[in-house]
Structure 1
Amino acid sequence: MKLQVAIDRVPLDRAVDIAHSLDGKVDIIELGTSIVKDYGLEALKQMDFHLEKSELLIDLKTIDEGEYEFKKGFETSADILTVMGSSSNGTLNQTYQIAQDVKKDIFVDLMEINDDRLNSMPELPNAIFGLHHSKDSVESFDAVDTIKQFNDQHPQISRLAVAGGIDIDQAKKIADQGIADIIIVGGKISGTSDPVSAAQKFMEAIK
């Protein structure tokens, strides 16, 4: 299982510092959508986000203009870009193909996606699919049960990530469950005074 750490809502130089401090300590480092919106892809391209050991995910949340946004996104040092599952099949196909062409990864964000929409998506066999509980949602979220239900209904999806307020105890349970490939943790690591120490505790819980 991989640990992905999301960096959000911090100044760009702080994001660089956190990313480099976690390089090699976690599997994937995510620059969240707030970073993209606050500073833009051109700024991310100019900053030193080149990582030596960890993969870099930039959370574009593309929903249209897929070809343009993914080509621009991969001009940065990103290894993985995100597209919303609610976008059109045309956008999904375009972004998937671009990721395949440059031998990088695509992450399909399934926030607010129901089974009907998921079943109508094109086949994207190499994509990562992310179960993503909305930060703004007032509903409770049981990651372990959600993963189990999703896997029962969609066993053909082999690369599964999960995000949504995951703590150490939940991380252990998800790892023991053995279904999801990636757990995503944000502020419980990147928002602490010592992200490296916090990340180490999560890594110990899932490995």
Structure 2
Amino acid sequence: MKLQAAIDRVSLKQATQIAHQLDGIVDIIELGTSIIKDYGLETLKAQDFKLTKSELLLDLKTNDEGKYEFERGYQTSADILTVMGGSDESTIQQTYAVAQAKNKKMLIDLIETSDKKINQLTDYYQNAIFGLHHSKDSTEAYDAVASIEQFVKKHPTIKNIAVAGGIDLDQAQKIAQQGLANTIIVGGKIVGATDPVKAAQKFMEVIK
């Protein structure tokens, strides 16, 4: 199982520092959508985010202009980019084609994506990561373990699952024991900690 640390809502200087602190500690380092919107791809392209051990994910949340956004996104040092599962399928086709051509990875963010739409995607995007994502703005309680179990029952052919949504150490351990997800995405519990490295190491201990 992989651990992805999501860096969001901090300055570019802080994001850079945290990313390099966590390089090699976690499997994937994510620069969240807020970082991309605040600073833009041109700035991130110029910034030194070339990690030595961890993969870099940029959470573009592409919803249209798939080919253009993914080609631009991969001009940075990103290994993984994200597209919204609820976008038009032609957008998903374009982003997937770019990712495959560049030998990169793509995560399909399934926030508010219907089961019908997910079923349409499963046959064509086997190399994609499917991201279960509970909305930060949602007031509903979220049980990540139960959500993963329900998702796998509905979509048993999907093999690469990432899960995000307020996951703490206890939930991370339960998800690891469950053995159905491939990647756990943690944001504030790592990046917002007094010592992000120590916090990340604790998460790694419970999931490995």
* TM superposition score category, shorter chain reference: over 0.9
- After TM superposition, list the pairs within 5 Å mapping 1:166-205 onto structure 2: 166-205=167-206
Deviation, 1:113, is: 1.1
Secondary structure of 1:4's partner?
strand
Aligned to 2:3: 3
- Residue matched to 1:132: 133
- In the other structure, the counterpart of 2:104 is 104
Which structure 1 residue ranges, 5 or more long, are not aligned?
Answer: none
- Counterparts in 2 of 1:12-31, with a 5 A limit? 12-31=12-31
Residue 75 of structure 1 corresponds to 75
- 2:89 is matched with 89
| Structure 2 CA distance for aligned equivalents of residues 62 and 92 of structure 1 | 9
User: Please, what is the CA RMSD of the aligned residues?
Assistant: 0.7
String of CA shifts for 1:15-65, please: whole Å, max 9, x gaps: 000000000000000000000000000000111100000000000000000
2:49 aligned with 1:46, yes or no?
Answer: no
Which amino acid is the alignment partner of residue 193 of structure 1? T
Give the Å deviation of 1:120. 2.5
User: 12-21 vs 117-126, which deviates more?
Assistant: 117-126
Counterpart secondary structure, 2:72: helix
Instruction: Name the SS of the counterpart of 1:162 in structure 2.
Output: strand
**Deviating more after overlay: 111-120 vs 145-154:** 111-120
Q: How many percent identity over aligned positions?
A: 65
Tell me the number of residue pairs that the alignment of Structure 1 and Structure 2 aligns: 207
Corresponding position of 1:35: 35
Q: What are the ranges of 5 or more consecutive residues in structure 2 without an aligned counterpart? A: none
Q: Which amino acid counterpart does residue 172 of structure 1 have in structure 2?
A: Q
Question: Structure 2 counterpart of 1:43, which letter?
Answer: T
Q: Secondary structure at the match of 2:59?
A: strand
CA deviation after TM superposition for structure 1 residue 67, in Å = 0.2
Letter in 1 for 2:173: K
Whichever residue aligns with residue 90 of structure 2, its letter is G
Structure 1 residue 186: Cα displacement: 0.1
Aligned partners of 1:47, 1:96: CA distance in 2, in Å? 25
Q: In the alignment, residue 140 of structure 1 is paired with which amino acid?
A: A
Note the alpha carbon deviations across 1:51-96, whole angstroms, 9 max, x for none. Answer: 0000000000000000000000000000000000011110000100
**Counterparts of 1:114 and 1:88, CA distance in 2:** 13
Per-residue deviation, residues 80-127 of structure 1 (Å, max 9, x unmatched)? 000000111100001001000000000000001121121233610100
Question: Aligned with 1:120: secondary structure?
Answer: helix
AA aligned to 2:3 is L
After TM superposition, the runs of 4+ consecutive aligned structure 1 residues lying more than 4 A away are none
